[in-house]
Amino acid sequence: MSEPQPIAIGETAPTFTFRDAAGRERNTADLAGNPHVVYFYPKDDTPGCTREACAFRDAAEVFSDRKVEIIGVSPDNDASHDKFRQKHNLPFGLAADTGNRIAKAYGVWGPKKFMGREYEGVHRITFLVDSGGKIAKVYPKVKPEEHPAEIAADLEKLT
C-alpha cells in the first residue's frame, strides 16, 4: 500500500470554496495576502478528528491575532459540518469535500488500512499556505492535540 503524495512546499495551493464559522461561502483565493492553514481530516465527530478540531478551536486566538484563517476539510457534507461546528463551538471554516476533489488536488486522498480493511480515504495531513498562496509547510504526521502549537511556532518563522 503506497503513501499519499501531498503537494510539495513551494507549489501553488489549490483554491476551493468553504463555509466560514458564520456559514458564509468563501473561497481560499480571497485569502491572498494572509497565510492560512488547510487541514484534512477523515470524518466529523470521530475521536481523533474531534480532538484535532478542538485543539484548533482552543488555539484560535493565536491564529486570528496573526490574521491566519484555519480551514478544515473532510468528505462530510455541509449539514454534518454544521452539526460538528455547533456541537464543538468551532470558530473556523469547514469545507465539504463530498467528491474528494480538494483532497485529490492536495494529494491527500489515497489507500488506507483500518482493522485489516483496505479502502480509499482522506489522510490526516495539514498544509500551511503563505500569504502568496504557496505551500510553506506540509505536516504529514499529525498528532491531533499538539498540531496547532506546532503550526503556530512555524508561523513565527513565516511572518
Report the catalytic residues.
49
Assign 3-class secondary structure to the chain. Answer: CCCCCCCCCCCECCCCEEECCCCCEEEHHHHCCCCEEEEECCCCCCHHHHHHHHHHHHCHHHHHHCCCEEEEEECCCHHHHHHHHHHHCCCCEEEECCCCHHHHHHCCEEEEEECCEEEEEECCCEEEECCCCEEEEEECCCCCCCHHHHHHHHHHHHC
Ramachandran sector of residue 53 (left: φ over 0; alpha: ψ -120 to 50; beta: rest): alpha
